Amino acid sequence: MRLGVLVSGSGTNLQAILDAVATGALDASVAVVISNVSTAAGLARASNAGVATEVVNHREYASREAFDAGLVERLRHHQVDTVVLAGFMRIVTRVLLEAFPRRVVNIHPALLPSFAGVHAQRQALNYGVRVAGCTVHLVDEGTDTGPILAQAVVPVLDDDDEESLGARILVQEHALLPKVLQWISEGRVRVEERLGRRPRVFVTG
């Protein structure tokens, strides 16, 4: 499995992937890390691990679709077969999704379908839920709506703020994302498409 990891920020989930590849827990290689933000710390993490980096600046494209076509071109150049959105703060279009059918994975810091979109941890605190967590899912054309592959749960404590809750969730993210990618690399994830209904996901083995 040749991963293309897209990041916009600090890249701690990218780091978890790089570490899992280094230890052999994840049987894959990170072919390229692409960011839309030239200063993203995730790019330095990739360089430190000897992984190729690219900057594709969304501001240089006239539309989301044109930006995605630029991403696809660079991903194909690096012979990527699976794309991971790891803190990638852009909404992707069918241009990316059709280039990598059912091979685009996202990590979201909430128990979907609750609290999609930005500031998921803040949404959870404001709502007053007692458990929170993270979701790894396949990406579709909606925002955080694609088929769910795995979720992990954390408690919400009375004195939590966005930062403390976010940190507790992030620990789970770093464990869950490499684990799910390993399932994919082993061919253990099967998606059953169902007309007019949500696809059903099976994880075998």
Catalytically annotated residues: 108
For residues 79 and 59, the answer to whether their CB atoms sit within 8 Å is no
Which of 187, 121, 179 is closest to 151 using CA atoms?
179
Note the residues at the interface with ligand GRF (CB under 6 A): 7, 9-13, 86-87, 107-109, 170, 173
Phi, psi at 166, each rounded to 5°:
-60, -40
- Nearer Cβ to ligand GRF, position 176 or 189? 176
User: DSSP assignment, residue 50?
Assistant: T
Residue 186 β-bridge partners: none
- Nearer Cβ to ligand GRF, position 97 or 190? 97
Which of 114, 116, 95, 112 is closest to 104 using CA atoms?
95
Shortest Å distance, C-beta 15 to ligand GRF: 8
With CB atoms as reference, the residue minimizing the distance to ligand GRF is 87
Shortest Å distance, C-beta 23 to ligand GRF: 18
Token readout for 74 is 């660079």
- Nearer Cβ to ligand GRF, position 26 or 170? 170
Shortest Å distance, C-beta 161 to ligand GRF: 15
- Nearer Cβ to ligand GRF, position 12 or 151? 12
Shortest Å distance, C-beta 39 to ligand GRF: 13
The sign of the dihedral angle between the CA atoms of 182, 184, 185, 190 is: positive
User: DSSP assignment, residue 145?
Assistant: -
Token readout for 131 is 């458990």
Dist. CA 127–CA 57, nearest whole Å: 35
